[in-house]
Amino acid sequence: MSLTQEQISRLMKLSWLDSASIDEGRISSNLNGIISYVDVLSQAPTDKMNPSLDIWLSLRDDVVVRFSESWDECLGCTHQKVIAHQISIQNIMHTEG
């Protein structure tokens, strides 16, 4: 499989590449090389491989843990000022003037 010139132009537009400053022939060659490599990889026999991804991505069960009985109790634990039932923090956006 290879990309058409129209597809390459569309990819360049989507990636905000300036076609005036880039050699489209080089981009075309590189992208088609990548696609050819993916085609080769997709033909590799994988039927006898162990799916190790299951081991890496074994997820734990979700467990809901209540740390407190109410929002008021949670807000009571902060040393920050509470305004309108929310914790107020200092301005972290400093401007030099």
**E strand or H helix at 87:** strand 86-87
- Per-residue model confidence (pLDDT) at position 57: 64
- Per-residue model confidence (pLDDT) at position 33: 92
Each residue's pLDDT tens digit, 36-82: 999 998 888 888 777 665 566 667 788 887 766 788 888 888 888 89
Q: How far apart are the first and last CA of the chain?
A: 58
How far, in Å, CA of 67 to CA of 64, rounded? 10
How far, in Å, CA of 47 to CA of 82, rounded? 59
- Per-residue model confidence (pLDDT) at position 61: 80
- Of the two residues 21 and 13, the one the predictor is more confident about is 13
- With 60 as the cut, is the pLDDT of residue 97 above it? no
Each residue's pLDDT tens digit, 25-47: 888 888 899 999 999 988 888 88
Number of H helices, E strands in the chain: 4, 2
Number of Cβ within 10 Å of residue 21's Cβ equals 6
- With 70 as the cut, is the pLDDT of residue 84 above it? yes
What's this model's pTM, rounded to 2 decimal places? 0.44
Whether the CB-CB separation of 27 and 8 falls below 8 Å is answered with yes
Token digits of residue 55: 């081991």
- Per-residue model confidence (pLDDT) at position 36: 92
Query: What residues does each domain of the chain span?
Result: 5-42
